[in-house]
């Protein structure tokens, strides 16, 4: 599992690549959380490179999304492949954490800083 963080000025963008299963989450969860939650900034999470999403991956995304909400910031997920999107939709993720098709739409969903 790979993770890359980019500063977009008004938000952080986190690009994830690989499988968000138990080993993948174990590999990146601490870095993912530390790169998003402490700064308390809005965050975009690019899921276009995620090929599989397990319940552990869903838990990680929910935990970080809720932590940001507690800091009055927003996390938006975008670019999910069809199978990953279906997994997120099945658990009601779009009702909890905003989701978008692309980066421009994701940016538009962020709360003003």
pTM score: 0.92
The top-level CATH class assigned to 2-109 is alpha beta
Helix (H) or strand (E) holding 70: helix 55-70
Which segments of 1-113 are extended strands (E)? 2-7, 12-20, 43-53, 75-78, 99-100
Pairwise CA distance, residues 85 & 101, whole Å: 10
Q: For the packed helices 22-36 and 55-70, what is the interaxial angle rounded to 10 degrees?
A: 10
Please report where in the chains the tokens 């975008």 appear, as a residue: 78
Contact 8, 39 (CB under 8 A): no
> In this predicted model, what pLDDT tens digit does every residue of 68-99 receive, in sequence order?
999 999 999 999 999 999 999 988 888 889 99
> In this predicted model, what pLDDT tens digit does every residue of 10-60 receive, in sequence order?
899 999 999 999 999 999 999 999 999 988 889 999 999 999 999 999 999
Structural domain spans, the chain: 2-109
């Amino acid at each position: 599992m790979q993770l890359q963080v980019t500063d977009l000025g008004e938000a952080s963008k986190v690009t994830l690549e690989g499988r968000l299963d138990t080993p993948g989450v174990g590999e990146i969860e601490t870095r993912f959380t530390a790169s998003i939650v402490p700064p308390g900034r809005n965050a975009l999470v690019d899921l276009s490179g995620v090929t599989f999403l397990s319940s552990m991956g869903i838990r990680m995304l929910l935990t970080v999304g809720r932590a940001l909400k507690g800091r009055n910031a927003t996390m938006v997920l975008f670019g999910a492949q069809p199978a990953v999107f279906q997994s997120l939709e099945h658990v009601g993720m779009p009702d909890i954490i905003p989701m978008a098709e692309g980066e421009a739409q994701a940016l538009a969903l962020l709360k003003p800083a």
